[in-house]
Chains A and B, each alone.
Chain A
Amino acid sequence: MKSKLNLPADRVAYARQLAERITAPVQDFIDGHSSVTVERATLRLAGADGASPDGVPVANLVVDRIRAADPAALEDGATLRYVNALLKTGGNERALNDRIAAGFDVTSLPLGDRAAIEAKADEIVAGTLARIKRNREFREGKLEQWKGRNNSPLLYLIVATGNIYEDVKQAAAAAEQGADVIAVIRTTALSLLDYVPYGATTEGFGGTYATQENFRIMRAALDEVAEKQQRYIRLTNYASGLCMPEIAAMGAVERLDMMLNDSMYGILFRDINMYRTFVDQMFSRMLNSYAGVIINTGEDNYLTTSDAFEKAYTVLASQLLNERFGFRAGMPSELLGLGHAFEMDPSRKNGFMYELAEAQMAREIFPDCPLKYMPPTKHMSGDIFKGTEMNTLFNFVSKATNQGIHLLGMLTEAIHTPFMMDRYLAVDNARYVMNYIDGFYDDVEFKKDGIVVSRAHQVLGETIEFLELVERTGMFDAIEQGLFAEMKRPKDGGKGFEGLVKKGPAYYNPFEKALKRELGIVR
């Protein structure tokens, strides 16, 4: 890729160094901690499935009972107790899950021979990792088989009816219309539940519950359309909120292809405790990485809550931090769908050029990342015609700068969840623009000191200044003082803080160990 912006390589490298230095102390904290949802994710991977008659998942039952029996016991990890119970009861996972759901407490059994527990755990780990690996190979095989049949950038559409069976119809129609990626948006507030609901669901507010059964239903439906279309259809869900690692675990097992996963989104925009989020994102990203799941980070949120022109540097800063946290969790650039968005005020003079500059800047700074580009939302109104015009320019910038994942803008963004025809019009617009300007950008160079080039240099400079401030302040203090997204989040405040677990000297998590080994994570 030939540079159009001539960004100084040493300044970009320096910005990356800053991100590395900022995240290092956070990583030290992460390495010494687990959380209730990391433990539950581990249990799920070990086979803890199902729920009690009143809907409490088996993974929660195990963790809650361990904590109730001895508040400090979780520092040894929950898997030890679960595998111990498996050995002692002599049955399979399913039989044990049924007993746990019916009230059985795994801590009521004395711990048996440690070597036997570890041997059994290793066997379980190998089985689960093999399943995840098979999923990954299946996906890679299909992508190879149907190579060149997807759009570039990938066209990403959202379904959100609340009813998984209705979602399936909408998703199939969207895929037939040309979508490459289907995201099932989650019901409002799911991110603030400290458990993952169980089973197929038909009720939701503004979206559908993320449950393992719902994942399975949608996966099967999309695979069917893919065979018809001879085009792999990627499935996306949200590994965000209080159950990041558990949803990542479910996604790994049910072959999701993309997951929303941001290292700081929960802290800033959902008021989830900062320590908890940092710990959770690490484990969830190791799982995403091993499963070959592309993560989508949430930089668009910085632009919808603040002014997109003035705060452009917060996007690049966040991308660099998300990249570094991703690297630390063993993710290659190819899985880092770093986010940004086309959210500037449409009345701003030359706004298009600024948008183009920033999208191109992201492309040049992260050449191997499948960048996730988000459409206008903040300035969308009931004027669906104006909305269409804005989406057209968004499509232009996205294609020109070769973004990886293109979330299609809806003309009815500010009005209602998309109608089937809204999605059709969005795909139609994107395909029109992307075909019509296909080679245009290769013919274009920017003036050396023109608006586009100057803007990119300016944003890079502001980003470096901001990251220097964050480094001087320290990440935890920076969040507390409201340096990010103008949100002040106290260190011990926010949701889920009580679910943080300090790892004891005997902490045992066979999945964490295996994932680190497989991903080549040294620390």
Chain B
Amino acid sequence: MKVVRPYGDTMDDGKVQLSFTLPVPDGAKGREAARKLVLSWGFKDCEVVHSAPLAAEFSFYVAYGKTESSIDYDSVVADEASADASMNMDEVNEYIRRNLGRKVVVVGACTGFDAHTVGIDAIMNMKGYNHHFGLERYPEMEAYNLGAQVPNEKLIDYALKVNADAILVSQVVTQKDTHIHNMTEFIELLEAKGLRDRFICVAGGPRIGNKLAVELGFDVGFGRGAYADDVATFIVKKLAEKN
């Protein structure tokens, strides 16, 4: 058992930094309201170090709180696919040559009305992101990035056309749970066509966790901080497992 608390400058001091807006005018009363509010969240101590007016009826606060809450670090299970065991690009290609002996076909898109290609581009485009090359760069992969606002139906048709092994669904916009509707519809469409087992289904996006993706029927989900290496590693290992 390893018990941990937030660390400010001394072990176990429990110091936490907070900032928030209240729909009240700035002033002494607003600051006191902010302090009491922070205490009501269970903090043992609170100092409001800054406040400023945002508009006539809104004010901004920066506060420090001290918490006594702790967590048993050893009991924690991370909601991540395989991030700490990913192979790099060369290793993935070598793995494909050795274990699969053919090119791996991947199709990806940002589906529904979502127009943000940042995520799918980071994973798929040649250039990749933050010095991690995208799947298009992998010599043992054929990667098709269909871009944004692709209907689920069209994505599936395309995956069939190029005989894909894996389908990548990117969802950036999460307002009003539109990502959940899109992802659910995608899986339902596959199931209706009897195709769910034909493809490895990968979901990704800044607010997509592995847990959520698996709950919705995907094989895996990748959130913030995932690179092409992580996605590729998962796909090729899963493929080898399937064979």
Contacts and interface: CB of A to CB of B under 8 A. Distances in A.
Interface stretch (B83-91, B171-179, B185-193): B171-179
Interface residues of A, number: 33
A424 B58 CA distance: 11
Contacts, number: 64
A270 B115 contact: yes
A192 interface: yes
Interface stretch (B4-12, B28-36, B49-57, B63-71): B49-57
B174 to A, nearest CB: 9
A173 B178 contact: no
Interface stretch (A302-310, A365-373, A390-398, A435-443): A302-310
Contacts of B178: 188, 205
B52 A424 contact: yes
Contact of B55 (A176, A191, A304, A381): A176
B48 to A, nearest CB: 14
Nearest to B52: A424
Contacts of A172: 55
A192 B114 CA distance: 11
Given A270-B149, A419-B21, A421-B54, A188 B173 contact: yes
A189 interface: yes
B113 A189 contact: yes
A189 B127 contact: no
A188 B117 CA distance: 13
Interface in A168-188: 172-173, 176-177, 188
B19 interface: yes
B141 to A, nearest CB: 18
Contact of A420 (B58, B118, B149): B58
B206 interface: yes
A307 B173 CA distance: 23
A188 B60 contact: no
Contacts of B113: 188-189, 192, 205
A487 B175 CA distance: 28
B229 interface: no
Interface string B106-139: 0000000111011001000001001000000000
A415 B173 CA distance: 10
A420 B113 CA distance: 26
B54 A206 contact: no
B41 interface: no
A482 interface: no
Contact of A206 (B118, B175, B224): B175
Contact of B54 (A177, A269, A415, A417): A177
B147 A271 contact: yes
B118 to A, nearest CB: 6
28 contacts: A162-B175, A176-B55, A176-B56, A188-B173, A189-B113, A189-B115, A189-B149, A192-B113, A205-B113, A205-B173, A205-B176, A205-B178, A206-B173, A206-B175, A269-B115, A269-B148, A271-B149, A307-B127, A345-B130, A347-B130, A382-B224, A419-B21, A420-B21, A420-B54, A420-B55, A421-B60, A424-B54, A428-B52
Interface of B: 19-21, 52, 54-56, 58, 60, 113-115, 117-118, 121, 127, 130, 147-149, 173, 175-176, 178, 206, 224
Interface of A: 162, 172-173, 176-177, 188-189, 191-192, 205-206, 269-271, 304-307, 345, 347, 377-378, 381-382, 414-415, 417, 419-421, 424, 428, 487
